Amino acid sequence: MRKLSWWIGLLIFGPLFGVLLFMMPLEFVVSSWHLFRARDGLTHGKVLASAKVSHHGNSKSDIRYRYEVEGREYESDRVRAGWFSRHGYESGAGELGGALRPGDTIPIYYDSHHPEFALVEYGWPKWSIAFSLCVWGLLWRNYARPDSAHQLQQRSLWQTRSRGLQLFGYGVATSMTILGFCLFAIRPSTVELQDIPWLLISGGVISLLGVAYGWFHYLRRKAVTPATGLSR
């Protein structure tokens, strides 16, 4: 019976875990590629139609616009970078669509080599960064904890390697996890380029605090025996 429950749980939560583990980082890569494509082209276009579409408390922006590049007109409805984020519902993602009206002028970012590819919001979907940081940060933090089973088994190596490197990994993993949760809580649906400096600065500060916490909580407070891993 227990084995059956384990398989049922795996079938239910396994695909979800796989999505969190790999699909969001893939979405970040695709979004980065889209932003790279549109890095050089900037013009202004006219809104043809705009609406905020809501679904179960979340929303998305449906915007159709026209723009001109080198005397040729183009139309598009792509708002955001990404593979499935452009079609997905997200908290706050529909605010732009609700604020615009037909005839409004908006900045358009386009691929200078293929002008038919364009974006309205130049940034990464929040979920692609936040989920990636949270999930991979939690996994790495659990692995890098000085009192984890892996670290206790490798204690002889721990004594010969640089403790600073181990604590640095623990601090970075802690920073990734906290930043991911903060992005969920305080950021709008798109993480823009101007957000990157404060993310890096915040990550550095939190990493240092994580290193300090790991040092005082696991190394200074506890003396771990090689054989049993019990405090003495």
Mean pLDDT within 172-181: 90
pTM over 0.85: no
| Over residues 91-106, mean pLDDT | 90
What pLDDT was estimated at residue 102? 95
Query: Residue 231 gets which letter from DSSP?
Result: B
**pLDDT-derived band at 91, boundaries 50, 70, 90:** confident
Q: Output the CA torsion sign for 54, 57, 60, 61.
A: positive
- Per-residue pLDDT averaged across 202-227, rounded? 72
Instruction: Determine the Cα–Cα distance for residues 104 and 125; give it in Å rounded to an integer.
Output: 24
Residues 130 and 216 in one domain: yes
In this structure, the answer to whether residues 145 and 163 fall within a common structural domain is yes
Q: Which of 36, 33, 31, 40 is nearest to 69 (CA)?
A: 40
Q: Is residue 226 situated within a structural domain?
A: no
pLDDT of residue 230: 46
pLDDT at 6: 66
Residues 95 and 141 in one domain: no
Q: Which residue has the higher pLDDT, 139 or 227?
A: 139
Tokens of 15: 């695909």
Q: Are 125 and 80 in contact (CB under 8 A)?
A: yes
What percent of the chain has pLDDT above 70? 79
The total domain count for the chain is: 2
| Percent of the chain's residues with pLDDT above 90 | 34
Whether residue 94 is predicted with pLDDT greater than 90 in this model: the reply is no
In a domain, 225, yes or no: no
Q: What's the pLDDT score for residue 109?
A: 97
Give the integer Cα–Cα distance in Å for 2 and 4: 5
Mean pLDDT of 82-107: 86
Q: Examine the fold and report which residue of 67, 97, 121 is the final residue of a domain before the chain moves on.
A: 121
Tokens of residue 151, six digits: 């670290």
Q: 147 and 207: one domain?
A: yes
The CATH number of residue 114's host domain is 2.40.50
Show Cβ contacts of residue 165 under 8 Å, excluding neighbours closer than 6 positions: none
Please tell me the predicted confidence (pLDDT) of residue 158: 46
* Residues 112-131 pLDDT 10s: 999 999 999 999 988 889 98
Residue 47's domain comprises 37-121
Q: Tell me: the pLDDT tens digits for 31-54?
A: 999 999 999 999 999 999 999 998
